[in-house]
Amino acid sequence: MELLSDSVVLSRMQFALTAIFHMLWPVLTTGMGIYLVIVEGVWLKTKNPDYYLHARFWSKFYVLNFGIGVATGIPMEFQFGTNWAPFSEAVGNFFGSVIGFEASWAFMLEAAFLGIMLFGWERVNPTIHYLSTILVAVGANLSTLWILTANSWMQTPAGGELVNGKFVVHDYFQAILNPFMVNSVLHMFFATLETSLFVIGGISAWYILKQRHTGFFSKSLKIALAAAIAVAPLQIYIGHLSGEQVYHYQPTKLAAMEAQWESTQAGQPADWSLLAIPNEKAEKNDWEITVPNALGYILEFKKNLSEPVQGLKEWKPEDRPHMIGLIYYAFRVMIAIGFFFAGLMLLSTLQWLRGKLSAENITQQRWLMVAWVFAAPLGYIAVESGWIVRCVGRQPWTLYGQIRTVDSASHLPASNVLTSLISFAVVYSVLFIAAMYFGSRIIRTGPNLELPIPGTEITKPAVETTPAEFVPDERPVEAQQ
């Protein structure tokens, strides 16, 4: 009950709720936009109608996610003015403009061409339609660029300094290209693409298990698999680079991710904690399984560390993250899902090379299809886990090392924040149920394989029928009378 009377805690809970829920939807649109560019491009190149029908079918999921993403994204951004006004006032010179870029550059571009992409198939030239699909995908991924730029700057502020409580920008491009920016944008880009590929593959596998449109969905599964061959390993590598940056720039977060209480000095090996039960009060792990000397290999590909890994005890409790168990296990869930995706990709590729994924044989790969169905929601869990590590691990700072979270929150009555938090929870629950209903209905209905293909000639009857009023009466004259 004490937490419910703390407006800062409630504001954090509200932002967490809105951010976690909102993130579910643009994850799919940003990745699926690229998939739609691929299948429509293949259709224009090969004139194979299956790829046109794929573009029409999967675009239904795109528009469903886009609509809910817009509805949930706008309230999330409004909170910077309602619940986090002191933070917005302090960093608006940079942070506000970058968020504005996301709306004016990315969202407007995506929204402007979405109507042509969805409804212009028979109304515009195929090349113009394809250009619209490309611009929609570009707009969706520009959102990733600007949002991750803003958040990366919160993680590693650069390009200016705090003067009398306000961030003054000295070098705008240095602020944009802050130390975390490039890897963070790439990590999120591949996360959205990987999630979308395994959702598309999982839905395709469901149809194959049900033996519905097997040939059609074996193609979409193999397209997703072909892209995953490149994406899954790259995502693991970029994730490793992001971990290295945490090691160098955010030692408190690294200590929380590894539940490491004691420091390891430079030049010494460090064990890696595989599983543990962190105890914040006792400042130790009650139970732990470790891999000897592994942390050095994970961080630097060598046994002995070139820099120290500081333990949580190096900082006062108020200067380090809390909820260590949440950060620790969210990080491991994300890693486990990443390696599961890579393993599933490798196994599926082997079966593909053996000819087991042909339209004739794919229905026999029952357990492989079950694995793909199981994988469909895992990307969402990995993305949400990554954001938990990223944002909860940044605490107690909103702007890392410069502005504390407690100083960033608006001074609002706790009862008001609690009311809005409950309202968001109710509305978002309704939206989630609606999304699941309409999404499942799209899946149950399946693709419309009878859609006319633009650019194909309509076959005319061999013999044209003369209108009735021009047909001569061939009856005898007597009968006519």
Number of Cα atoms under 13 Å in the Cβ half of residue 81:
6
Phi, psi angles (nearest 5°) of residue 290: -120, 155
CA dist list (Å): 357 to 55, 195, 348, 446: 21, 21, 8, 21
Q: Given 3-state DSSP classes, what are the helix, strand and coil percentages for the chain, each rounded to the nearest 5?
A: 70, 5, 25
Q: Nearest-5° angle of CA 396, CA 400, CA 404?
A: 45
Using the structure block, give the residue that is written with the tokens 């690294």: 254
Taking the CA atoms of the chain, what radius of gyration do you get in angstroms?
27
| DSSP states along 328-380 | HHHHHHHHHHHHHHHHHHHHHHHHHHTTTTSTTTGGG-HHHHHHHHHHTTHHH
In tens digits, what is the pLDDT along the chain, a chain of 481 residues?
556 668 899 999 999 999 999 999 989 989 999 999 999 999 999 989 999 999 999 999 999 998 898 888 888 888 988 999 999 999 988 998 898 888 888 888 888 898 898 888 888 888 999 999 999 999 989 988 999 999 999 999 999 998 888 999 999 999 999 999 999 999 999 999 999 999 999 999 999 999 999 989 999 999 999 999 999 999 999 999 999 999 989 999 999 999 999 888 877 888 888 899 999 988 899 999 988 888 888 887 777 777 888 899 999 999 999 999 999 999 999 999 999 999 999 999 999 999 888 888 888 889 999 999 999 999 999 999 999 999 999 999 999 999 999 999 999 999 999 999 999 999 999 999 999 999 999 999 999 888 888 876 543 334 444 444 334 454 444 444 4
